[in-house]
């Protein structure tokens, strides 16, 4: 079970990569506003400041006591409401967080906003009307494109995030950073408001794997193997 209160919140590296993709799009397209969005307690502000120091123009911090303990469904609902309010053309997100590793929130946001999703993407090319990229799903590599507005989740193979310089760190302190509550979004969310939600009731270590029986070929190996397979109902 994750104890997030015991650790400092920092911008996930995969989110920094998503931010880097956005900043590179700004450089190539011009007239692009990059907005960093995060849901969490007051510690999440530090993560947003990191993205601002990289070059994001502004940030929105979504925080409300009712959101404590939210699962992926509640998180997606809140983020989708915030992104709808911001009315952005392209939503870039990491494919999964380092701590929870759910990997479902970008797809949920796309569904809630009725937008096409380009999942697990790298080698992205962003134009004023569409996004193209390579998506690796299992052993299959696909070249995909989606029309804007859209949602794109990036992988650890995407753009290498820049390291904030002193000028960027100083500038981040004066950039707009708003905090929104559920009232600002006009929704009810969080564990208490959810009609259905996932709850972790227990966590157990995976049992150690034990070695299976070894068959010594003394002339009866084939018979022993056949008997073993029959016992396990494999034949």
pLDDT value at residue 179: 96
pLDDT value at residue 2: 44
Please state the rounded mean pLDDT for residues 147-173.
93
Beta strands 117-126; 130-137: pairing state: antiparallel
- Per DSSP, 5 falls in state G
Q: How many angstroms separate the first and last alpha carbons of the chain? A: 40
Supply angle C-alpha 82, 160, 57, rounded to 5: 40
pLDDT value at residue 51: 96
CATH of the domain at 153: 3.40.50.620
The domain containing residue 142 runs over which residues?
4-185
Position 208 in a domain: no
Position 102 in a domain: yes
Say if residue 39's pLDDT is above 60. yes
Position 195 in a domain: no
Position 179 in a domain: yes
**What is the tens place of the pLDDT at every residue in 131-149?**
999 998 778 889 999 999 9
Position 129 in a domain: yes
Say if residue 9's pLDDT is above 60. no
How many structural domains are present in the chain?
Answer: 1
Position 135 in a domain: yes
Beta bridge partners of 141: 136
Is this prediction's pTM over 0.85? no
What residues have CB less than 8 Å from 128, skipping those under 6 apart? 29, 148
Position 207 in a domain: no
**What is the tens place of the pLDDT at every residue in 176-195?**
999 999 999 998 876 666 66
Whole-number average pLDDT of the chain: 87
Position 57 in a domain: yes
- Per DSSP, 101 falls in state -
**What is the tens place of the pLDDT at every residue in 73-92?**
889 999 999 999 999 999 99
């Amino acid at each position: 079970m994750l104890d997030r209160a015991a650790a400092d919140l920092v911008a996930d590296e995969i989110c920094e990569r998503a931010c880097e993709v956005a900043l590179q799009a700004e450089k190539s397209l011009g007239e692009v506003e990059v907005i960093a969005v995060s849901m969490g307690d007051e510690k999440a502000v530090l993560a947003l400041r990191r993205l601002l120091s990289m070059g994001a123009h502004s940030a929105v911090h979504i925080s409300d006591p009712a959101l404590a303990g939210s699962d992926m469904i509640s998180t997606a609902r809140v983020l989708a409401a915030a992104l709808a309010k911001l009315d952005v053309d392209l939503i870039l997100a990491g494919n999964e967080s380092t701590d929870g590793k759910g990997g479902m929130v970008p797809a949920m946001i796309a569904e809630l906003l009725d937008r096409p999703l380009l999942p697990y993407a790298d080698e992205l090319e962003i134009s004023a009307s569409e996004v193209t990229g390579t998506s690796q799903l299992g052993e299959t590599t696909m070249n995909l494109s989606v029309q804007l507005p859209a949602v794109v989740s990036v992988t650890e193979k995407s753009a290498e995030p820049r390291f904030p310089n002193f000028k960027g760190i100083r500038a981040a302190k004066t950039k707009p950073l708003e905090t929104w509550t559920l009232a600002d979004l006009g929704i009810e969310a969080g564990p208490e408001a959810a009609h259905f939600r996932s709850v972790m009731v227990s966590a157990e270590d995976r049992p150690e794997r034990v070695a299976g029986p070894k068959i010594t070929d003394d002339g009866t190996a084939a018979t022993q193997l056949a008997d073993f397979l029959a016992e396990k109902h494999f034949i």
